[in-house]
Amino acid sequence: MSSEISPQSPGQPPGRKPRVAVVFGGRSSEHGISVVTAGAVLRAIDRTKYEVLPIGITQDGRWALTADAPERMAISDRRVPDVSQLTESEEGVVVLPVDPANREVVYTEPGTVPKALGEVDVVFPVLHGPYGEDGTLQGLLELSGVPYVGCGVLASAVGQDKEYMKRVFTSFGLPVGPYLVVRPREWERDPAAARGRIVDFAGEHGWPLFVKPSRAGSSMGITKVDDLSGLDEAIEEARRHDPKVLIEALLRGREIECGVLEFEDGPRASVPAEIPPVSDHDFYDFEAKYIDSASGIVPAPLTEEQTAEVQRLAVEAFEAVSCEGLVRADFFLTDDGEFVINEINTLPGFTPISMYPRMWQESGVPYQELVDRLIQAALTRSTGLR
């Protein structure tokens, strides 16, 4: 499944390699994981085919010029890296173009003449969570007329908001598990009423419940609650990441994931993976995923029929949300043999040991080619309504 370099992008001088801006970090609680992902992507981009411009967004939202140093962008001593450790100036700011006819990026520092960094042909955003994966960055890039890797504004926004994601899935006939939403005003104005709804929900579906932020990822802010005594604390933990909270019933079964990648003839599904129960963790939480590096099984030990079914559902989920580029779809294979979709991730974990790249590695697309395919697809896809 080799990919070839595309023709020159519009307005690109003949002979110049396409310039890829890798944008990472950001204001969300997944800042550090984004830096780790960016390090892997920077290492994988073929420098004989592309020029690379690393742009880090600090935790306070400043767009900064960073060192092209993948070796400094890894988890060390159980700590995730930070963009501030990579910036060349504490005050310098990178500014994207706002004119679709001009893709030149500018770097400014106080008291100095702005420095042109050259045109950017495509942005590879590796931001996880709000202010990056949720359609906000995608909207900025659409306004700027700069092509980018991955899903557009709508799909990114829906893919970030677990409530509306589930509503879209339901409208397309995809099976979802029982859930309840606690909106910000409800909890702030009448927590007793919200608590009562949750107790009724638990009475119908049983304890434990999973309490999670509606718009966050990497298992941030999720708590498994065994009874009413832990509920308020779990809601407040979720609200640290997002004021809207999702309550989900426990689904007993196996955790199955499947990657979707857009090819020239449309989206295709990878071989699926299984996330086995993790020792010393109640569930597949942040620590298990990234710090303790719990490993999934690829390919998942499923029957041919089960594999075909989860691949079909993964592509249907991709299409239902109008996704582009890539998606990881997460399912439960329940004890009664039915697949239930939990969520999609429009920018899944993307280090070489992450599940999405591993699934495609087993499907015949190695990591470097996967990165190349995504860049090529972005270069040949125009911005705007599509």
Per-residue pLDDT tens digits for 219-267: 789 999 999 999 999 999 999 999 999 999 999 999 999 999 999 999 9
What pLDDT was estimated at residue 16? 83
Residue 287: pLDDT band (50, 70, 90) is low
pTM value > 0.85: yes
Can you tell me the distance from the alpha carbon of 220 to that of 7, in angstroms, rounded to the nearest whole number? 41
Look over the chain and give the mean of its residue pLDDT values, rounded to a whole number. Answer: 90
What pLDDT was estimated at residue 17? 93
Check whether 3 has a pLDDT greater than 70: no
The residue-averaged pLDDT of 3-26 equals 69
CATH number for the region 159-176+251-346 comes to 3.30.470.20
What pLDDT was estimated at residue 142? 93
Tell me the per-residue pLDDT of 175-227, one tens digit each, with 9 for 90 and over.
999 999 999 999 999 999 999 999 999 999 999 999 999 988 667 899 999 99
Tell me how many degrees the CA angle 145-151-155 measures, rounded to the nearest 5.
Answer: 110
Can you tell me the distance from the alpha carbon of 193 to that of 183, in angstroms, rounded to the nearest whole number? 12
For residue 100, how many C-alpha atoms fall within 13 Å in the half-sphere facing its CB?
10
What pLDDT was estimated at residue 294? 54
Check whether 2 has a pLDDT greater than 70: no
Fold assignment, 19-150: Rossmann fold (3.40.50)
CATH superfamily assigned to domain 179-249? ATP-grasp fold, A domain (3.30.1490.20)
Tell me the per-residue pLDDT of 38-62, one tens digit each, with 9 for 90 and over.
999 999 999 999 999 999 999 999 9
Quick check: 159 and 153 in contact, CB under 8 A? no
What pLDDT was estimated at residue 320? 98
What pLDDT was estimated at residue 291? 44
Tell me the per-residue pLDDT of 315-324, one tens digit each, with 9 for 90 and over.
999 999 999 9
The residue-averaged pLDDT of 158-166 equals 97
Residue type, 91: E
Token pair of 116 as six digits = 């042109």
- Which residue did the predictor score with more confidence, 10 or 361? 361
Check whether 7 has a pLDDT greater than 80: no
Q: Mention every residue, 6+ apart, whose C-beta is less than 8 A from residue 89.
A: 64, 65, 109
Quick check: 132 and 35 in contact, CB under 8 A? no
What pLDDT was estimated at residue 240? 93
Which phi-psi region, left, alpha or beta, contains residue 173 (left: φ > 0; alpha: ψ -120 to 50)? left
What pLDDT was estimated at residue 8? 44
The residue-averaged pLDDT of 295-306 equals 95
Q: Mention every residue, 6+ apart, whose C-beta is less than 8 A from residue 309.
A: 339
The Cβ of residue 70 has, within 10 Å, a number of other Cβ atoms equal to 17
Domain borders along the chain are 19-150, 159-176+251-346, 179-249
What pLDDT was estimated at residue 4? 36
Check whether 10 has a pLDDT greater than 50: no
Token pair of 201 as six digits = 């929900």
Distances (CA, A) of 166 to 52, 261, 331, 350: 37, 21, 12, 24
